Chains A and B, each alone.
Chain A
Amino acid sequence: MIDARDVHKRFGSLEVLKGVSLTMAKGEVLAIIGPSGSGKSTFLRCLNHLETINSGCIDIEGETLVSTVSNGICHYAPDADLRRICGKMGMVFQHFNLFPHLTVLQNIIEAPMTVKGLRREDILPRAEALLRKVGLLDKRDSYPARLSGGQKQRVAIARALAMEPDIMLFDEPTSALDPELTGEVLRAMRELAEEHMTMLVVTHEMAFAREVASRVVFMDGGEILEARPAKDLFASPEHPRTRAFLENML
């Protein structure tokens, strides 16, 4: 599903990703954990072209998003292909990024209508089903400002799913929430995982990583230090930095 090889990313002189490689199979739920500034969010954002990489290769479902030839210059797919390839991935942000001028329902049907050209009545049943699924059908006509953080994030999940992505990327989806609101968001994500959605989740929620993720990736200093089945990584972290990180977190 996702195949990233030797991804390098610099912000100015700061090297944020120092050759990250990761492959992910269909239906896998992968959690990326690690200290702040380890590059895990940046890596996620490189996968759907919110950031451009400096070198490396990324394939999504067998299609090349970006490749680097021997001379070190990386080539992105043409714009139309880029948009199509990135369209296979939905994304949920730390700060929701809902559209404040649109109601909950409008937030969900906006992209299916403008991007896919669907008619309102065609997308409406699906939009309502998604809202019911995240438990917010009664909020369909509310504006985002009237929702709690947890509700906003569940709308954001429904909005991403409305585009029928094959892969869902989550960028610290609970980090901006009050602790008592994280549960409802994690529950929605857990349900999604049980439906075998392919998910890549950058998170600080160790319990979620341990219970829901099939594999857990530990990143630090712009590198992947460990990527192993969740149980193994939490039970017996191999790398001393993983061990130190987990001891701090738990």
Chain B
Amino acid sequence: MNYVLDIMGPLLEGTGVTVQVFLITLVISVPFGLCLALLRISRFKVLSGLVNGYIWLMRGTPLMLQMLFIYFALPFVPVIGIRLPDFPAAIVAFVLNYAAYFAEIFRAGIQSIDRGQYEGARVLGMSYTQTMRRIVLPQVVKRILPPMSNETITLVKDTSLIYVLAMNDLLRAARGIVQRDFTTTPFVVAAAFYLLMTLVLTLGFQHLEKKYAVYDE
């Protein structure tokens, strides 16, 4: 038990990094994903096609590869060549990648809303923007809660990939101690930390689902 308390310091530091990457990614990629979804379903074929290609690229290649590319290769790309420090590079990769997944969740949610809802709003004089904001998206939120819950929980665990940029997240911190002390206890503690984080998310999403259960469809 004393040993567990001894290693708590570096593990908590690692958890701090993990939580930061998680929160920043979530806060940026959800609205970004919504924008992508709206472009994807828009009438502008070119934009829709571009977004489609973007999603294919982001879902079709490993997140780790994307992160390595942004950190190591981006500086050498002509015109947009930019050298990012490790933390921003990781955030950019995570946001670009997760926005693509969120976009598809939003798209599925939006397209599952009955046409009658649009018509009902339209004959009341509501514009497309008003219809989306007041009628469609509030209903979409309820429908996409389960897949969003899945995706955010995956994000918590995916943050461990930032070790490739030599950043000290929870898992890398644990591994460091394992290699130093020749004991697997840090892994168990790290697992408990991950479970705690995903428990918070699970409960949060369950609370939201209950909140939205006041109405049926």
- Chain A positions near chain B (C-beta within 8 angstroms): 48, 50, 83, 86-87, 89-91, 93, 95-101, 110-111, 114-116, 143-146, 159-160, 163
Contact of B124 with A111 in the complex, beta carbons under 8 Å: yes
Residues of B136-168 contacting chain A, CB below 8 A: 138-139, 142
- Kindly report which residue of chain B lies nearest to residue A112, judged by CB atoms: B124
B116 interfacial contact with A, CB 8 Å: yes
Instruction: Identify A50's interface contact among B122, B126, B135, B215, CB under 8 A.
Output: B122
B79 interfacial contact with A, CB 8 Å: no
Contact A97 to B116, CB < 8 A, known contacts A110-B124, A143-B214, A159-B124: yes
Residues of chain B within 8 A (CB-CB) of A116 are 125
B184 interfacial contact with A, CB 8 Å: no
Contact of B123 with A86 in the complex, beta carbons under 8 Å: yes
Contact A160 to B124, CB < 8 A, known contacts A97-B117, A99-B117, A145-B215: yes
Q: With the chains together, A96 CA to B123 CA distance in Å? A: 12
Contact of A97 with B119 in the complex, beta carbons under 8 Å: yes
Top 9 A-B pairs, shortest CB-CB distance: A97-B120, A111-B124, A145-B216, A97-B116, A91-B123, A143-B215, A115-B125, A87-B125, A100-B217
Further pairs besides A86-B125, A93-B119, A163-B124: 6, Cβ < 8 Å: A91-B123, A97-B119, A99-B117, A100-B216, A111-B125, A145-B217
Residues of chain A within 8 A (CB-CB) of B114 are 97
Residues of chain B within 8 A (CB-CB) of A95 are 116
Q: Report B118 CB to chain A, min CB distance, Å.
A: 9
Q: With the chains together, A99 CA to B130 CA distance in Å? A: 14
Q: Which of A83, A91, A99 has the most CB of B within 10 A?
A: A99
Residues of chain A within 8 A (CB-CB) of B138 are 101
Q: Report A107 CB to chain B, min CB distance, Å.
A: 9
- Kindly report which residue of chain B lies nearest to residue A111, judged by CB atoms: B124
Q: Which of B123, B125, B142, B217 has the most CB of A within 10 A?
A: B123
Q: Report A67 CB to chain B, min CB distance, Å.
A: 22
Contact of A114 with B215 in the complex, beta carbons under 8 Å: no
Q: With the chains together, A222 CA to B124 CA distance in Å? A: 27
Residues of B56-75 contacting chain A, CB below 8 A: none
Q: With the chains together, A95 CA to B217 CA distance in Å? A: 13
Q: With the chains together, A159 CA to B121 CA distance in Å? A: 11
- Kindly report which residue of chain B lies nearest to residue A98, judged by CB atoms: B120
B134 interfacial contact with A, CB 8 Å: yes
Q: With the chains together, A93 CA to B142 CA distance in Å? A: 25
Contact of B126 with A99 in the complex, beta carbons under 8 Å: no
- Kindly report which residue of chain B lies nearest to residue A100, judged by CB atoms: B217
Contact of A90 with B134 in the complex, beta carbons under 8 Å: no
Q: With the chains together, A100 CA to B216 CA distance in Å? A: 7
Residues of B102-123 contacting chain A, CB below 8 A: 114, 116-117, 119-123
- Kindly report which residue of chain B lies nearest to residue A95, judged by CB atoms: B116
B127 interfacial contact with A, CB 8 Å: yes
Contact of A83 with B127 in the complex, beta carbons under 8 Å: yes
Q: With the chains together, A145 CA to B127 CA distance in Å? A: 25
Residues of chain A within 8 A (CB-CB) of B123 are 48, 50, 86, 89-91, 160
Q: With the chains together, A138 CA to B210 CA distance in Å? A: 25
Q: With the chains together, A114 CA to B121 CA distance in Å? A: 11
Q: With the chains together, A101 CA to B120 CA distance in Å? A: 14
- Kindly report which residue of chain A lies nearest to residue B124, judged by CB atoms: A111
Q: With the chains together, A243 CA to B175 CA distance in Å? A: 86
Q: Report A148 CB to chain B, min CB distance, Å.
A: 14
